[in-house]
Amino acid sequence: MPRITFHLARADNGVIGRDGKLPWHLPADLKRFKAQTMGKPMVMGRKTFESFPSPLPGRRHIVLTRDAGWAAAGAEVAHSPEEALALAGGDVAVIGGAAVFALFLDRADRVELTEVHIPAEGDATVPAFTGWREVAREEHASEAGRPAYSFVTLERAR
Protein backbone atom coordinates (compact mmCIF):
# COMPACT_ATOMS: atom_id res chain seq x y z
CA MET A 1 0.00 0.00 0.00
CA PRO A 2 1.31 3.48 -0.79
CA ARG A 3 1.95 5.81 2.13
CA ILE A 4 -0.46 8.77 2.00
CA THR A 5 0.69 11.94 3.73
CA PHE A 6 -1.40 15.10 4.05
CA HIS A 7 0.44 18.43 3.80
CA LEU A 8 -1.48 21.48 4.97
CA ALA A 9 -1.58 24.62 7.04
CA ARG A 10 -4.68 25.07 9.20
CA ALA A 11 -5.73 27.97 11.43
CA ASP A 12 -6.84 27.26 14.99
CA ASN A 13 -10.48 27.55 13.82
CA GLY A 14 -10.03 25.06 10.96
CA VAL A 15 -9.64 27.53 8.09
CA ILE A 16 -7.25 26.44 5.33
CA GLY A 17 -8.15 28.92 2.60
CA ARG A 18 -9.91 32.08 1.52
CA ASP A 19 -10.86 32.89 -2.08
CA GLY A 20 -8.48 30.20 -3.40
CA LYS A 21 -5.48 31.46 -1.44
CA LEU A 22 -3.85 30.98 1.95
CA PRO A 23 -5.15 33.58 4.47
CA TRP A 24 -1.59 34.13 5.78
CA HIS A 25 1.97 34.36 4.49
CA LEU A 26 4.45 32.19 6.36
CA PRO A 27 7.70 31.77 4.40
CA ALA A 28 8.90 29.01 6.74
CA ASP A 29 5.73 27.00 6.03
CA LEU A 30 6.23 27.36 2.26
CA LYS A 31 9.87 26.27 2.62
CA ARG A 32 8.84 23.22 4.69
CA PHE A 33 6.13 22.32 2.17
CA LYS A 34 8.64 22.50 -0.68
CA ALA A 35 11.19 20.34 1.17
CA GLN A 36 8.59 17.71 2.10
CA THR A 37 6.96 17.43 -1.33
CA MET A 38 9.96 17.79 -3.67
CA GLY A 39 10.24 14.82 -6.00
CA LYS A 40 6.89 13.37 -4.91
CA PRO A 41 3.61 12.97 -6.74
CA MET A 42 1.10 15.41 -5.26
CA VAL A 43 -2.66 14.81 -5.38
CA MET A 44 -4.83 17.90 -5.31
CA GLY A 45 -8.18 19.22 -6.42
CA ARG A 46 -8.63 21.37 -9.50
CA LYS A 47 -9.04 24.60 -7.51
CA THR A 48 -5.80 23.96 -5.63
CA PHE A 49 -3.97 23.34 -8.90
CA GLU A 50 -5.45 26.48 -10.45
CA SER A 51 -4.36 28.54 -7.41
CA PHE A 52 -0.69 28.06 -8.40
CA PRO A 53 0.78 30.60 -10.82
CA SER A 54 2.32 27.61 -12.66
CA PRO A 55 3.03 23.97 -11.79
CA LEU A 56 5.46 23.65 -8.89
CA PRO A 57 8.88 22.50 -10.12
CA GLY A 58 10.21 19.06 -9.24
CA ARG A 59 6.85 17.48 -8.41
CA ARG A 60 4.10 15.67 -10.28
CA HIS A 61 0.66 17.30 -10.14
CA ILE A 62 -2.16 14.74 -10.07
CA VAL A 63 -5.41 16.68 -10.22
CA LEU A 64 -8.59 15.04 -8.96
CA THR A 65 -11.64 16.47 -10.73
CA ARG A 66 -15.18 15.43 -11.61
CA ASP A 67 -14.95 17.39 -14.88
CA ALA A 68 -14.32 14.75 -17.58
CA GLY A 69 -13.17 17.41 -20.05
CA TRP A 70 -10.74 19.28 -17.81
CA ALA A 71 -7.07 19.38 -18.78
CA ALA A 72 -4.15 21.71 -18.04
CA ALA A 73 -0.45 21.83 -18.87
CA GLY A 74 1.56 20.13 -16.14
CA ALA A 75 -1.43 18.25 -14.71
CA GLU A 76 -2.17 14.53 -14.75
CA VAL A 77 -5.93 14.12 -14.44
CA ALA A 78 -7.71 11.60 -12.22
CA HIS A 79 -11.45 11.23 -11.66
CA SER A 80 -11.39 9.09 -8.49
CA PRO A 81 -9.12 8.64 -5.47
CA GLU A 82 -8.26 5.14 -6.75
CA GLU A 83 -7.25 6.53 -10.14
CA ALA A 84 -5.13 9.23 -8.45
CA LEU A 85 -3.32 6.62 -6.34
CA ALA A 86 -2.76 4.40 -9.39
CA LEU A 87 -1.22 7.37 -11.25
CA ALA A 88 1.01 8.17 -8.26
CA GLY A 89 2.29 4.60 -8.22
CA GLY A 90 3.66 4.80 -4.67
CA ASP A 91 3.90 7.19 -1.75
CA VAL A 92 1.86 10.33 -2.34
CA ALA A 93 1.50 13.82 -0.91
CA VAL A 94 -2.13 14.96 -0.67
CA ILE A 95 -2.15 18.76 -0.62
CA GLY A 96 -5.82 19.80 -0.70
CA GLY A 97 -8.28 21.28 -0.82
CA ALA A 98 -10.78 20.43 1.86
CA ALA A 99 -12.87 18.05 -0.30
CA VAL A 100 -9.75 16.13 -1.37
CA PHE A 101 -8.56 15.81 2.24
CA ALA A 102 -12.03 14.43 3.14
CA LEU A 103 -11.83 11.86 0.30
CA PHE A 104 -8.47 10.52 1.51
CA LEU A 105 -8.91 10.89 5.29
CA ASP A 106 -9.68 7.21 5.94
CA ARG A 107 -6.62 6.16 3.91
CA ALA A 108 -4.07 8.68 5.18
CA ASP A 109 -1.12 7.50 7.26
CA ARG A 110 0.51 10.78 8.26
CA VAL A 111 -0.26 14.50 8.50
CA GLU A 112 2.39 17.19 8.13
CA LEU A 113 0.48 20.09 9.62
CA THR A 114 1.31 23.72 10.19
CA GLU A 115 -0.98 24.99 12.96
CA VAL A 116 -1.41 28.72 12.38
CA HIS A 117 -2.35 30.27 15.72
CA ILE A 118 -5.01 32.72 14.59
CA PRO A 119 -8.78 32.56 14.08
CA ALA A 120 -8.53 33.15 10.30
CA GLU A 121 -11.40 34.21 8.11
CA GLY A 122 -11.92 31.90 5.18
CA ASP A 123 -14.22 29.77 3.05
CA ALA A 124 -12.38 26.43 3.14
CA THR A 125 -12.06 24.47 6.37
CA VAL A 126 -10.75 21.12 7.58
CA PRO A 127 -11.86 19.66 10.91
CA ALA A 128 -9.35 18.87 13.64
CA PHE A 129 -7.52 15.57 13.28
CA THR A 130 -8.96 13.37 16.03
CA GLY A 131 -7.72 9.85 16.61
CA TRP A 132 -4.19 10.73 15.49
CA ARG A 133 -0.98 10.52 17.52
CA GLU A 134 1.34 13.53 17.65
CA VAL A 135 4.94 12.42 17.03
CA ALA A 136 6.67 15.79 16.56
CA ARG A 137 6.03 19.46 17.33
CA GLU A 138 8.12 22.56 16.70
CA GLU A 139 6.81 25.89 18.05
CA HIS A 140 7.45 29.25 16.37
CA ALA A 141 6.60 32.61 17.95
CA SER A 142 4.88 35.48 16.18
CA GLU A 143 7.41 37.55 14.29
CA ALA A 144 7.42 40.56 11.93
CA GLY A 145 3.61 40.81 11.93
CA ARG A 146 3.21 37.12 11.13
CA PRO A 147 1.18 34.85 13.41
CA ALA A 148 2.70 32.26 15.73
CA TYR A 149 2.62 28.75 14.29
CA SER A 150 3.60 25.17 15.04
CA PHE A 151 4.97 22.48 12.75
CA VAL A 152 3.24 19.25 13.83
CA THR A 153 3.59 15.68 12.57
CA LEU A 154 0.70 13.32 13.23
CA GLU A 155 0.51 9.60 12.59
CA ARG A 156 -2.66 7.55 12.53
CA ALA A 157 -3.20 5.80 15.84
CA ARG A 158 -3.69 2.16 14.86
CA distances, 46 to each of 1, 11, 109 (Å): 25, 22, 23
**What ranges do the domains of the chain cover?**
4-156
Torsion angles phi and psi, residue 21, rounded to 5: -135, 165
For the segment 31-58, what is each residue's pLDDT rounded down to a tens digit?
Answer: 999 999 999 999 999 999 999 999 999 9
Distance CA 100, CA 109 (A): 15
For the segment 68-121, what is each residue's pLDDT rounded down to a tens digit?
Answer: 999 999 999 999 999 999 999 999 999 999 999 999 999 999 999 999 999 999
Q: Residues near 34 by Cβ (< 8 Å), separated by ≥ 6?
A: 56
CATH of 4-156, one of 3.20.20.220, 3.20.20.70, 3.40.430.10, 1.10.630.10: 3.40.430.10
